[in-house]
Structures are given as C-alpha cells and as structure tokens.
Structure 1
C-alpha cells in the first residue's frame, strides 16, 4: 500500500506571523515549529505553546487560514537514487591493458581516452587484410584495362581479311583453270578438224589412185603444231614439234600390172630428228602439201596415211590435255573450297571469342568489384578492431566503477543492463554488481571494465504496487525526500511507468522512473529516496486543512475564530479532498481563521 503523506496545517506567511505574534502575546514563551508538507503555495505551520506559567488564561487553539493553494492526492514508495544515465563500457575484443588513464570518481568529458589495449595483433591483422584488398583491386584494374575484347575484335578483322584473300585466290585459280580448260577444249576441236582434213585427203587420194593407176605425183605434206609441255602420255603421242612429211611414190609397170603403195616419212626440218619431250599443241596445226608429179595420186596415199596417224595421235594428246585441265580445275576448285571453309571457320572462331569476351567482361568485372567490396568490408572491420583498442568516453560523466590495471588481460565486454523505464540508466540492484552480491564482497560494476555515470541530473527508480501504479502517468509532479539528507526535499516529474510487471518476493510491482528537476551536492548515486507522486492535483483553489474539517450527518463544517477569539461553527460546501487539504467550493472566504486539530 502507498504511504499517504500526513495532513499538515497549511498557512501562508501572514498567518504564520500572526499566529506567532498571538502566541508570544498570550504565553510569552518560545514557539515550536513543525515541518510542513512541501508543495508550491502550501506552508504548514503548527504552533504549540511550550509553557504558559505566567498566565492562567486557557491555551489558545491552533488555527490555520483558508487560502488558495494546491489540493492533491499522492501515492508514495521508496526507491533508490541513480544517475540519469549510466553506461557500461568495455572493449570490443579482449586483450592486455597497456594504459588506464582514469580512476574511480574522476570526471571525464566526451571523447577522452580512458584506457588502451595492446594493438599489435589487431594492426598485423589489418595489414594482412589491406594487402589482400590491394591484390583484389589490382585484379579489378587488370580486368577493367584488359585488351581482351579489342584483341578479339582485331582477330575477327584479320580472320575476315584471310577469308577474303582466300576467296580471291580460289577465284583466280578457278578462272585460270577454266581458261586452260577452254584452250584445251579449243585445241582438241582444232586437232579433230585437222584429223578430219587428213582423213578427207587420204580418202581423196585413195579414190584418185583407184581411178588413175600408173601415173601420179609425189606429194610432200607437213603438219606444224606449236609445242606446249604436257604429260608424258601426251609426249608419247606427240614426239616432236612438227608433224611428219609423207612422200608417196608409185611405179607403173604397165597396164594391168600390180599397183604398190610405199610411204616414207621425214621431218620437215630436212632430216633432223624430231625433238622429244612432254607437250601439247596450243593452236590448230597447219598442213603444207607439195605435189611433185611422180606417177599420180597413188604415190600420195602413203603420206596421207602417215598424216592421219599423226593427226589421230594429236587428237588423243589434246583430249588427254583437256581431261587433265578439267581434272585440275575440279581439284583446284575442291581444294579452294576447303581453304575457304577453313578461313570461314577462323572467322567463326574469332567471332565466338569476341562474343565470349564481350559477354564475360561486364560479369567478370562485376564479380571482381564484389570481391573488392567484400574485402574492403573486412579491412574496415580490421580497422575498427584497431580503433577499439582505445576506450573513449562517449559522453561527459563520472567514473563509477573500474575493474582492471595495466598489464592485466580483460575479456570482451558482453554485459547488459536492465534499464529503467524511459531512461538509459540501469534499474538499481539489477545490474551485474547485484549478481555478484552472493559473494562476500560485491564487485563494483560487476563484470564490466568501466561504468560511467552522468551525474548532471539524478533520477529515482521506484517500484509501486499494481493498484497504485494504475494511477500514475508521465508528467505527474513528485515530492522526493532522502533518508541520508532529512532536511532536503526536491521536486521531480514522472518520466515513465514500466509497461511490464516485475515480481519480487511474490509481490507484483511496476517500476516508475522519476526525474529530479533540481539536484544537490549532497546527493549520491544509490541513496534511498521516498517519492510521493501526486496522482490528483488541483492548482490555485480555495482550500482548508483536512484537520479543520468536521463531517456529520452529511454536512461539512469548520470552527471559525472571529474577532476577539469568538468561535462559531460554519458549514461549507466541500469539493475534492486531498491528502492534506480539502477544496472549498462555497461557505468560506479567503483569510478566515479555522481551528485545526493537533495531529502530532
């Protein structure tokens, strides 16, 4: 249950002075003043006569004035005073302390270096990670500045040039082969015509010989062919550069005598042996005939036969040469097509390499950029580890606890605190130091290396029973007193009410954080404090002390002291009833003196 502040007599400055003067006049004795309940506009004075031996007059009653003040209802509970902010400080990672620059109780400012750890291992790790980052960045630069795509483009251009040159070469070869084949075909035609002419001449001479036997002429004929080297087969068919000359002679022995045909052949070069070798006629041959009367047509038959034989051989040689030219054309065309396809394959390969390089380049660069970013994050973490070897004060404050000396090894900070509602300070008695209270001596700060308190302002963290907590809300006024400083009262304001209950020894309580509006140099963190929270409050209303009010039969009255000390009972309409004062709605006037009951 909440402690209700006892009702006190509320008087103004003038009523206190009047009461004191009256007491002095009446008894001539000292006065005893009782402490009043704190509050704006509310001064409570109880005047008691210590002795009245000099007069036999009855003692004067205690009175209080009806005045404008604050009527309130309060709930009270005891808690602990704590700094408005409290931070548990430590190192991100453990290590050996190389410097501790503060002591317990020192005032520090934000950014001040409090302690240092050996940063050697952290710096070596940072250097390793930085080297890996530099390597990854070098790979990225190489990829960005790579000439792979440009080289692939050049390869495509060169492969295309090779293809074009190959096609031109094949076309030229095929054209030459077609031309050679055409010449061979024409040569064959000419040779066939010459053979036909030789056959015609033979037929003519044979017919002439049959019709005019015993007479004739000697006919010498010469076939001339331009010589072009050919295969050995053609050479066998055409042993010389010229045709043969046949000389036909006949002798008539008389009528009815038997007719004989003889033939001989000589080279047109007057008996010079025909040159040998491999060749073919490159233009139609010419036939020159010289007729010498030696006895008629019969003498020419033999030379005609030789000419026909030579012409047959020349036709076969030309046909062979034509077939060879056709075969060469076909072979060259096939070989040329293979060369073209190989060149085209080179273009395809080069284009594929270009496409692959152009497609892979953005992805490869993006992948490497991601690796650089990841390694950069590792470097930043390593740098943070180096920075965390220096412990700095995050805010101004006072060192409340310090656990560690130079040369000792400290562990990584991992403790947490149960914070008071609406505050950054821990609930008193719930931190790591409370957990250590089972030991013989509680360790200040528990497992934390350093605890920093902000002592510019204080707060009171108070548990309230659930019935009282339901009446408390943020912003309500609070009167705070302290066991260690009995004569000190400070005003405060409710900062926050905890939304969740806390069970302690089977009692359900809700923590309430009260922020003091003013401080005092005598206040210390952890002192016991009594907080009276004004849950209902009426400001600047006419009120009378509760100790002066009488209620009977539904009527509310007070005893008013008039001039000359005359007392009379006066009814009045009461309003809100507070812990110490009752609101006066009507029936009394400001300044009326009413009799109060001593409630010491």
Structure 2
C-alpha cells in the first residue's frame, strides 16, 4: 500500500507539473495597442544607413620653392584655415636681391632696345644719293666751204678722241659711286636690324629672368591654396625648411568612408543626398552627398560589403579625422503625396474607421518608406485609419 501511494503520489505530482506547463504555455502575449491616425499629405523617403569613419580623401603637402630659415609659422595641427591665409615664411633677403638685380637688367635692356630702334629708324630714313650724270660729248656741226671742203678745226682726231675719252671716263666714275652708296646704306640697315633683334632678345631674356626671380620670391611664403584643416606641421621658427612643411586637407576633401551591404549598395547612386551624424553630437545632422561607390566589394565573414564615400556639404570646424560617423543615404523619395504609417498597411488593405465602425479597404500603394507608405488611391486626406503599436 505504501508503495502504491508513493506511486500514486508521484503520478499526481507529474500531473500537476504538466498542468503548470500547460498553464504557462497558455500565457497570452502583451496586448497590441491599437491607435488611429489620419491620412496626411507630405513626403515619403526611403534610406539606407551605414557606419564609417571620417578621413581626408586628398591631402596637400605644402612647402617653399627653396631651402631657407623659417622666420614665421602661423599654424599648428588641427587649425582651420581659409583660402589665401599666410601659413609660414622663410628668410627672403637673398631672393629679394635676385629680384632687384633682375629688375635692373630689364630696365637696362629696355634702354638698349630704344637706342637700337632709333638707330634702325635712322638707317631706314637716310636719303638716297642721286646718281652723278655722265659728261656728254659735244660734236660741232661740220660747215661746208664754198669750195665744197670741210672745216677740219672741230673734227680733228685729237680733239674728238680727247673729248670722247674724257666723257667716257666721267660716266664710269658716277655709276661706281652710286653703287657704293646704295651698298653702304643696305649694309647699315642690315647692321641696325641685327642690333635691334639682339636687343629684343636681350630684353626677352631679362624679363624671363625677372619672372623666375619673382616666382622664387613668392615661394618664400606658404599660403593656403584652399580652405581646410591643417593635418601636420614640421619645423620650428629658426630651423631650416624646404619643400615639405605643412600638410593641408581641403574642406572639400573630407569624406566619410562607409561600408554598405550588397542589398543596400544596389540602391546607391552617386549624387544622392545623405545626412551624417557624429558620435559627439547625435542630435545634429550634417548634409552630404554620395560622391563615390567602389565597384568591387570586400568579403568579411562571408558577408560582402561595398565602400562608399560621403562628402560633407559644409565641413564642421570641430571635425576630427578618424572619428566614427553614421550616414543615412536617401535612395528614394516621393514628395507631396498621401501617406499612412507602414504598420497600417497589410497585403494592400487598411482598416478605416468610419462613424465609429471599422471596415477594411483596399488601397494602391506607392513608395514604401522607412516610416510611412505612399497611398496612390483608396484613401482621402483626413481619413482615420487604424495602426498597430506597442
């Protein structure tokens, strides 16, 4: 009997245990809170989010055109600078001396060019010598004597030959003089033209040397080519500085490098708007844009991710390179449309409350956003619908 009661007692205990399990299994979940909202008109957006880090996409190494003693250093790492700001200087005395000498050379070359031009103009304007006319030979007309003889006084061989010799000699000397004068003038014009060309070349060379000297003088000062943030500075005042002194990241070169999944990157496009959140101030949203999407993904734990670069529309002054950031990219948007909470739509139907009574109604939906769903037909603005909540 004792054994039976023990067995029976065991059976009773087992039954009680089953009953407890059943009762526990029948516990009802927390009731779902039902509320009502009105159909509203507004914007529906769909976004994809990812985390990443702030980095400088491009950095500029700034330095001087020649080595020199650092006389001025106006920045330190982390400083925000504007375009054109003077960042550093080296001793410019020797570079200034070169500029002064080059300036004097240009002035001297200009004076020489003026003199050469004047000499050339004078040679071109010299009057041409008139040719010397040759002496004409005079032959008196022969007279006939009554006896039919001819006077021999004017036609003596000696007189005629002498006149001929004298006249011919004079004409040859005049032609030679004309040729010599023209040749001399041509030689003079050529000489002054050559001098003018040489003077112009000398001035060109002097001006080139001055340009180079001014460039070296300008290179004794480092100015910010763009506005941005100083990443690194090398050297101190009094030390020797050269071609690499300051590293600058431009404001437009700062990006968030974020990783997206395969499903998310399929919706990304260059130029899409984004909001950026930094961990030190999650309440502040910074506007940005998708500027680059890597075509090749990386595999980690069998999950493929793609890198996208999100640029800031305006880089905050407090931004720290390397800090984490979260981005939300708007992949689709519909503006000025009727919408309801997405939790109110079930398989193309919503529950509408009309005069205290609830009825199901078929609707045509459009963009399903992060929070709301676009309603293309089936509802009117102000309709009261039921939506589930906790």
From 239, 243, 248, the equivalent of 1:451 is: 248
From 166, 185, 201, the equivalent of 1:332 is: 166
From 202, 214, 218, the equivalent of 1:387 is: 218
User: Which has the bigger relative contact order, CA under 8 A and spacing at least 6?
Assistant: 2
**What is the TM-score of this pair, normalised by structure 2?**
0.67
The residue that corresponds to 1:488 in the other structure is 283
1:119-134 superposed matches below 5 A: 119-134=92-107
1:356-375 superposed matches below 5 A: 357-358=188-189, 365=196, 368-369=199-200, 371-375=202-206
Query: Which one has the largest radius of gyration?
Result: 1
Q: Note closer, same or farther for the CA distance 1:130–1:401 as it changes in structure 2 (3 Å cut).
A: same
Q: Note closer, same or farther for the CA distance 1:392–1:520 as it changes in structure 2 (3 Å cut).
A: closer
1:530 aligns with 2:364: no
Distance in 1 of aligned mates of 2:49 and 2:372: 17
1:461-500 superposed matches below 5 A: 462=258, 471-473=267-269, 476-485=272-281, 487-490=282-285, 492-494=287-289, 497-498=291-292
- 8 Å contact kept, 1:84–1:454: no
From 349, 357, 362, the equivalent of 1:556 is: 349
- The CA deviation string for residues 168-216 of structure 1, in whole angstroms up to 9 with x for no partner, is xx55xx66xx79xx9xxxxxx9999xxxxxxxxxxxxxxxxxxxxxxxx
1:570 aligns with 2:360: yes
Q: Note closer, same or farther for the CA distance 1:329–1:62 as it changes in structure 2 (3 Å cut).
A: same
**What is the TM-score of this pair, normalised by structure 1?**
0.47
Give the drift of 1:136.
2.9
The residue that corresponds to 1:341 in the other structure is 172
1:172-321 superposed matches below 5 A: none
Give the drift of 1:462.
4.5
SS of residue matched to 2:119: coil
The residue that corresponds to 1:404 in the other structure is 235
SS of residue matched to 1:596: strand
- 8 Å contact kept, 1:64–1:595: yes
- The CA deviation string for residues 380-425 of structure 1, in whole angstroms up to 9 with x for no partner, is 2211210221123455555343222223333435xxxxxxxxxxxx
1:78 aligns with 2:51: yes
Distance in 2 of aligned mates of 1:328 and 1:476: 112
The residue that corresponds to 1:103 in the other structure is 76
1:61 aligns with 2:3: no
Give unmatched runs, 5+ long, in structure 2.
1-29, 143-148
Distance in 2 of aligned mates of 1:78 and 1:385: 46
SS of residue matched to 2:75: coil
Q: How many residues align?
A: 346
Distance in 2 of aligned mates of 1:341 and 1:332: 10
SS of residue matched to 2:215: helix
SS of residue matched to 1:145: helix
